[in-house]
Chains A and B, each alone.
Chain A
Amino acid sequence: MTATTLRLCHSGMDNRALYAFEIFLSRVGPGACRIAEEDAADVAFIDVDNDLGPYLLAGHRMLYPHRPLIVTTQAPGQRPDPLTVEITKPVGLAAFSAALEKVRSLLPPADTATTLGLPDAGDERGGTVDSIPDEIALDTLSGAGPDEVALLRRFEARMATLHVGSLPDADLDNPAALAGIYYDPASFLQGLVARAITHAREIGRPVRIDDARGTALILDPRNGQAWTTRSPNALRALAQLPTRGTLAMARQEADTPLPEGAVARPLDGLEWELALWASRGRLPRGTGLEHPIRLKSWPNLTRLAVPPEAMRIAGLWSRGELSLRETVASLGAPQRYVFAFYSACAALGHVEQVVAPAPAATPRSPAAGNAGVQAALPTRGLFKRVFGKLLGTRPDKLAPD
């Protein structure tokens, strides 16, 4: 038995696949690794060639940015990330063992469990081990069908907390509870960046935002670019807390070089994420719950982080003017999903509130106004299957940059 046993999690396998995988692991070497819960794992094992794989990959990268990954694929060489170890399929014992060794070298010594005496994966099934080949065809093992959609939903919900927080639904009829659903964008990095962009437009040159560590952001609305010197996680942390005077805005002189390591990104994408992070499922102060929302234009969701249920919310608003309260009720979605999406849309000017509350939704979309067509729509089962399929295609933008 090796001195340390790697704890490996294996998202995306159904019971049948897991059984075969555990037997495969038993051939890798006694004590080389064992199946562990996702939260306690040293390394995650993901097959990226099925629909679910890329989603799981992005999910793990977001939730566990410092965790090594073992990725199986038929097309290696596409992941230069130093924490990702690729294995070309079909997965052989030698390649898998080498991958485990590589993972060990990536982990700090204290991170691997000293698990002398722990049972090896597959030990309890010793009678069947000899009949298992040295290669495993992972394509046939991945989970499918409703379980897969449920898994995608669970991951979406977990990752959603990074964008929309975890605020529980409030009793919208309780005035005391309403205080908790609002925030003041001006008190957050979101508001400071908005002011900085306005100022930069006025003076026709870039503006930077400094914190105690130096320049955090440089904003240049002339070319729609922002440069950030902070990691996505650090930026998110900065955006989620009120600034309380810790940040300052200053003009970026023309001859000042960009800070070392500054990374460019589109300005609208930055504003969008800052709004999501500041909102954490709350609404900008002054937003009415009963006033109808008018979607002026769809946010460019192919180039922005897609918060949970964004498509359904935008789809609903594009069909007619509904209040936030009605939106939550119509979709059956957590309030924080609707409120966060509204906050981000408001930050980029995609929505406005109609002043007078409307008694009922007013159809605007041509499709929405055609009752005959609505009756002819396919069953909801089709849409459920389609949306389940499409959910699995989103992963590469789920993680922060």
Chain B
Amino acid sequence: MHLTDALAPVGHHKLIFGGPVGAGKTTAIGAASDIPPLRAEAPILGGPGQSKPFTGAVLDYGAMTLGDGCTLHLYGTPGRERFDFMWELLTEDALALILLIDNSRPDALDQLHFHLGAFSRFIRDTALSVGITHCDLGGGLTLDDYQAELERAGFGCVPVFAVDPRCRRDVCLLIEAALSVLAPVARA
């Protein structure tokens, strides 16, 4: 299966995984996906004075099969801000944003704030859940700190969970929380 094939279907249901580089998007998609996750990378030429190309992660893809031939596509946005032009394209017709933030980074709250701003319109039109990763590595922030930042940014009460992106259960609970905000009356 080629990545372009995965991207091709129009109107399929999809979820977006966002967050900075190293937050665990690739791992989380791999944990939740029922198929081997796909990862596209592109060599990008650096700026002036940089002759060597570096590898930029373009996007990750996974899928959850739901029965009846229905599939929930999982897309991971490129973490680097230089690829943020792709974010709006990817979020088109998506159901919700799963935002992962690396708690061990000293600028974790700044990262949260940045991504809330970048995805602001999409979040306001859909739903958001926030997964805080690398909680075991310290960082000093609590889930309450993130919740307070979300309140300050005007996003209200958002599901904020500590997650291990390697753990399928954690990732699926994040997904479930976002969709429960979107459609709480729906039931399995």
| Residues of chain A having any CB pair with chain B under 8 Å | 144-145, 149, 152-153, 295-298, 300-303, 306, 311-319, 330-332, 364-367, 370, 373, 377-378, 380, 382-391, 393-397
Contact A297 B143 (CB under 8 A): yes
Contact assessment for B143 and A387 in the assembled complex, using a CB-CB cutoff below 8 Å: no
The docked-state distance in angstroms from the alpha carbon of A377 to that of B65 is 19
Is B183 within 8 A of A383, CB to CB? yes
Distance A330 CA – B187 CA, assembled complex (angstroms) = 12
Question: Do A314 and B177 touch across chains, with their CB atoms under 8 A apart?
Answer: yes
- 8 Å CB interface, B135-188 against A: 143-144, 147, 154-163, 167-170, 172-177, 179-188
Segment touching A, from B40-48, B82-90, B124-132: B124-132
What are the residues of chain B within 8 A of A330 when measuring CB–CB?
Answer: 184-185
Chain B residues with CB under 8 A of A388? 66-67, 188
Q: Across the interface, which residues of B come within 8 angstroms of A296, CB to CB?
A: 157
Check B179–A387 contact: CB distance below 8 A.
yes
Q: Could you say which of B159, B163, B167, B183 contacts A314, with CB atoms under 8 Å apart? A: B159
Residue of A nearest to B154 (CB): A366
Give the number of residues in B that approach A within 8 Å (Cβ atoms).
Answer: 47
Minimum-distance CB pairs A-B, first 10: A315-B180, A383-B186, A315-B184, A387-B188, A388-B188, A393-B172, A366-B124, A316-B184, A385-B66, A311-B180
Cβ contacts under 8 Å, A318 to chain B: 156-159, 181
Complex: how many Å from CA A322 to CA B151? 19
Does the CB pair A373–B157 fall under 8 Å? no
A378 touches B144 (CB 8 A): no
Q: Distance in Å from the Cβ of A369 to the closest Cβ of chain B? A: 9
Q: A298-B157, A382-B13, A390-B176 are in contact. Are A331 and B169 (CB under 8 A)?
A: no
Per DSSP, chain A at the interface is: helix
Q: Are A367 and B127 interface neighbours, CB within 8 A?
A: yes
Can you list 26 contacts pairing A with B, beta carbon distance less than 8 Å? A149-B188, A152-B188, A153-B188, A297-B144, A297-B157, A300-B160, A301-B161, A302-B163, A302-B173, A312-B180, A313-B184, A315-B180, A331-B184, A332-B187, A365-B181, A366-B123, A366-B156, A370-B124, A383-B182, A384-B186, A386-B72, A389-B65, A389-B67, A393-B172, A394-B173, A397-B169
Beta-carbon nearest neighbor of B172 in chain A: A393
Q: Is the CB of B187 within 8 A of A384?
A: yes
Closest to A149 in B: B188
Q: Is the CB of A389 within 8 A of B177?
A: no
Contact residues in B for A373 (Cβ distance below 8 Å): 125-126
Output the least CB separation between A139 and chain B (Å): 14
Instruction: Verify A303–B159 contact, CB threshold 8 A.
Output: no
- One of B155, B169, B177, B183 near A380 (C-beta < 8 A): B183
Shortest beta-carbon distance, B129 to chain A, in Å?
Answer: 9
